[in-house]
DNA sequence: CAGTATCCCAAGCGATACTG
DNA sequence: CAGTATCGCTTGGGATACTG
């Protein structure tokens, strides 16, 4: 039996794996990611736009680079000093559906008046962007009740008493 | 000029509004929400399954109820003592697309081996569930580059120098 | 401009003990 | 069973000063 399973059946686990929620391990990472989607790339701009202390920002950016969400590159325009830039990687850009889902939710349940902090538009047609839920077989899913949620193989196994 | 705009042009704001990211203000709320989607409803089960201290769990559940994500109801099976239950509200269930998007992302970029902690299946056909991005005009969006992200009206206004 | 280092404070958390 | 109260630890974060 794996350690994981053992931990599940005995005392407290260290903490069940949190997975994707971990992209937001603190209260600043999300702000930085969103800002990156706006197109912000420079340390200074992140600092001003996000209102995050340089020390904290430095640490968060380092973490995000370590996690492969952002990429630090040296950009040098001709005749100017080089500049460091933080740009979203493919992995980082892949977070967009999450951002969209978050935004859709907030627009519906938090600020239904359209005063969302994030505007997401289809570049080609200008329409707002949203997420739709489907299954791999192609069916559209409209209600949460159509989805069966269960702990996956990476989570604590369901105990026999569940 | 609004306070918000003023804060944007002057010194540091208290903190730019964080919106939907705020559903995960700490490291435990997400775990609880996910657990609720598994079908967990009782305090005791949340405590054991999530590995969260009762004091913290109590506070988080209270917050989630206050936010309208969970609903506390007294459930009484015939012949038994009444039980408190925490159940997802419509607002809470509406978080599902976010969970799916998070899970999709994690499966692709974190645990591509299928050992995800969360299994989400279409109840009718058993296929895994995923999110798709579309625009309000009905176009499918396949690449992040097709989406234009900008601060919305609820965010700090873009400064003139942006 | 792009950070790093230090200091101090506030919040989050687990452990534990206790109550209805 | 379903919590609440208290404690002390640890982490995160803003302010500030400093470096390449």
Counting Cβ atoms within 10 Å, is residue A141 exposed (0-12), middle (13-18) or buried (19+)? buried
pTM to 2 decimals?
Answer: 0.86
Give SS3 for A54.
Answer: helix
pLDDT tens by residue, A79-92: 677 788 999 999 99
Give SS3 for A148.
Answer: strand
Query: How many CB atoms are closer than 10 A to CB B121?
Result: 17
pLDDT bin (cut points 50, 70, 90) of residue B27 is confident
Query: How many CB atoms are closer than 10 A to CB A1?
Result: 8
pLDDT bin (cut points 50, 70, 90) of residue B123 is very high
* Chain D footprint positions (protein CB, under 7 Å): 1-7, 11-17
> Given this model, what pLDDT does residue B161 score?
41
User: Is the pLDDT assigned to residue A11 strictly greater than 70?
Assistant: no
Which residues from B are below 8 Å from A16, CB to CB? 31, 49-51, 117
* Mean pLDDT value of segment A48-76: 93
The answer to whether A26 CB is within 7 Å of strand C is: no
Distance from the Cα of residue B27 to its chain's centroid: 12
Cβ distance of B134 and A135 shorter than 8 Å: no
Which residues in window 40-79 of B are less than 7 A from strand D by Cβ? 42-45, 53-55, 57-59, 61-62, 72
Considering chain A, what is the average pLDDT of its residues? 82
Query: How many CB atoms are closer than 10 A to CB B42?
Result: 13
> Given this model, what pLDDT does residue B79 score?
67
CA B3 to C1' D16, whole Å: 26
Q: What is the number of alpha carbons within 13 Å of residue B58 lying toward its C-beta?
A: 3
> Given this model, what pLDDT does residue A19 score?
64
* Mean pLDDT value of segment A105-129: 86
Positive or negative CA dihedral for A6, A12, A15, A18? positive
d(CA B39, CA A26): 26
Q: What is the number of alpha carbons within 13 Å of residue A84 lying toward its C-beta?
A: 12
């Amino acid at each position: 039996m794996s350690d994981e399973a053992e931990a599940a059946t005995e005392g407290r686990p260290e903490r069940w794996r949190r997975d994707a929620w971990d992209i937001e391990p603190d209260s600043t990472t999300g702000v930085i990611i969103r800002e990156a989607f706006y197109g912000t790339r420079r340390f200074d701009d992140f600092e001003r736009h996000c209102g995050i202390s340089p020390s904290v920002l430095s640490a968060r950016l380092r973490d995000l680079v370590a996690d492969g969400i952002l990429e630090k590159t040296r950009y040098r325009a001709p005749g100017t000093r080089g500049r460091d830039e933080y740009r979203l990687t493919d992995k980082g850009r892949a977070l967009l559906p999450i951002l969209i889902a978050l935004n859709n939710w907030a627009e519906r349940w938090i600020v239904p008046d359209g005063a969302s902090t994030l505007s997401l538009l289809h570049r080609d047609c200008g329409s707002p962007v949203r997420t739709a839920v489907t299954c791999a077989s192609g069916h559209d899913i409209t209600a949460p009740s159509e989805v069966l949620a269960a702990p996956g193989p990476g989570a604590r196994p369901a105990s026999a008493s569940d």
